[in-house]
Copies of this chain bind each other. A is one copy, B any other.
Amino acid sequence: MDLQSLFYPKTIAIIGASSREKTVGNDVVKNLVNQGYEGKIIPINPKIEELYGLRVTADIKEVEEEIDLVVVAIPAKFVAENLREAAKKGTKAAVVISAGFKETGNTDLEDELRQVCQENGMALVGPNCLGAINPEIKMNASFGQLMPKLGHVAFISQSGALCTAVLDYAQELGVGFSKFISIGNKADVDEIKLIKYLAEDDQTKVILIYAEELANAREFIDTLCEINRGDNPKPVVILKSGRTEAGAGAIASHTGSLAGGDAAYNALFKQAGMIRASSIKELFDLAQVFARNPLEKATNLAIITNAGGPGVLTTDEATGNGLKMAKLSDNTKVKLDEFLPAAASSHNPVDVLGDAQADRYKYALEVIAQDENVDSIQLIMTPQSMTEVEETAKAAIETKQKTNKPVVVSMMGAATVKPGVDLLNKEGVATTSFPEPGAKSLAQLDKFVAWHKQANQPSLSFNDVDKQKVSDIFAKAEAKG
């Protein structure tokens, strides 16, 4: 499936453009016009003539040029007919925001949509979704209000409403996106099709998915193994809801999907080398650490901190999740002892003390980054009155630019440390405000790298027996509901 027309359209038609504010048909046009999209925008509505400075076309039949993408926000029963007309204009992708399909019992209508699109080679996103955003070309073909910053994280969500919150959090947390898409009922374009596309997308370094149910266990495993066994692996982080019986029940009531047994999903994720997030917040932490670090092992972690307590808490989190505390080489210890005050600790976690200014951090970072016993580095900083927030951030940025080792910086606090965090975000250094999630995410990175290495050993490749086993568990879980 070619999703170029979805993410890089030169012409977009909005079927159901509206002049009434705070409606979907109005929001989509407003977002396209106001947020910097430079392609052609064609609003379609028989009742109005002008919208946000654009001429409105009465009917899609009357559009004279080719259309790459249509965004649809009209009542469910009129959608199929309009997509047929869109196909005649060469349209290769449709985002159907309209609801009223499978989720309300109208499976026939949804089947019809799928059929129209398949017959015409048109990629169908939705129905019942928020839309799609490509920050690279400032295209916000959704009714979410915010244009995210450009970055390396692709986000795919089965929940539209979650998207609006994620966009808002992302601005605060400094996370940038490569592609952002709400897939709703997944009548056609689903996670697997998007993963295949995003695997080839240079802008994307990590793919995040929020899913309530997944189909095609075997295809999922095949797709992921193919991508991640190659030289250009792309980590996929999934937040899968419905892990409890009550949660699965809530999904049934929400989307009408069968959620499947959670054990089966865990087996699938393990087989496919997928990373499972346990909460919305963890999605962001993982996004930061995966998008901004090379896929290199992080096993032996060195922590540099100006605060003993947070150093201990982070040690707990790191080792509790499978990392080891790096044994610093004698040479490193000697060098640290030479420069740091007597009360500092050259034992890992390296405590540069509460009165550390940037020079101590800079020195410790340089020495530790060169230690062969160290695979990854976490810098922790609490704001004391002598702390140099921005200079310390710059020291971390310099280290990050020189080393191939994964690095996370946790500047603890909020307003006081913001200038440093902003700098780190600008220069693409992974940050987590609280330190424990930084260590946990590094542990996940390490697990992914180990999985990738193992998957690349031909003798240990995943065989059909394994896949069959997961498929069986899946089938059983779905039969049970």
Contacts and interface: CB of A to CB of B under 8 A. Distances in A.
Interface string A282-320: 000000000000000000000000111111110111111
Given A145-B416, A312-B212, A161 B382 contact: yes
B164 A280 contact: no
Contacts of A22: 385-386
A313 B385 contact: no
A428 to B, nearest CB: 21
A239 interface: yes
Contacts of A363: none
Interface stretch (A167-175, A188-196, A198-206): A167-175
A315 B250 contact: yes
A254 B161 contact: no
A244 interface: yes
A165 B311 CA distance: 13
Given A306-B161, A384-B161, A247 B315 contact: yes
A414 interface: yes
B162 A382 contact: yes
A354 interface: yes
Nearest to A145: B385
A245 B145 contact: no
Contacts of A104: 343
Contacts of A412: 165, 168-169, 280
Given A161-B354, A253-B347, A311-B250, A171 B415 contact: yes
Interface stretch (A41-49, A55-63, A152-160, A364-372): A152-160
Nearest to A413: B168
A377 to B, nearest CB: 16
B349 A307 contact: no
A243 interface: yes
B307 A414 contact: no
Contacts of A239: 313
A187 interface: no
Contacts of A349: 250
A241 B313 contact: yes
A383 B168 contact: yes
A242 interface: yes
A351 interface: yes
A309 B246 contact: no
Nearest to A211: B309
Nearest to A103: B343
A437 B168 CA distance: 18
A434 B251 CA distance: 19
Contact of A345 (B160, B167, B243, B253): B253
Contacts of A319: 244-247
A325 interface: yes
A162, A241, A308, A382: most-surrounded residue (chain B CB, <10 A): A308
A120 interface: no
Contacts of A351: 253-254
A212 B169 CA distance: 33
A210 interface: yes
A437 B280 CA distance: 10
A313 B165 contact: no
A166 to B, nearest CB: 8
Given A319-B245, A414-B168, A312 B250 contact: yes
Interface of A: 22, 27, 99, 104, 143, 145-146, 157-162, 164-165, 167-169, 171-173, 210, 212, 239, 241-247, 249-251, 253-255, 279-281, 306-313, 315-320, 324-325, 343, 345, 347, 349, 351, 354, 382-386, 412-417, 433-437
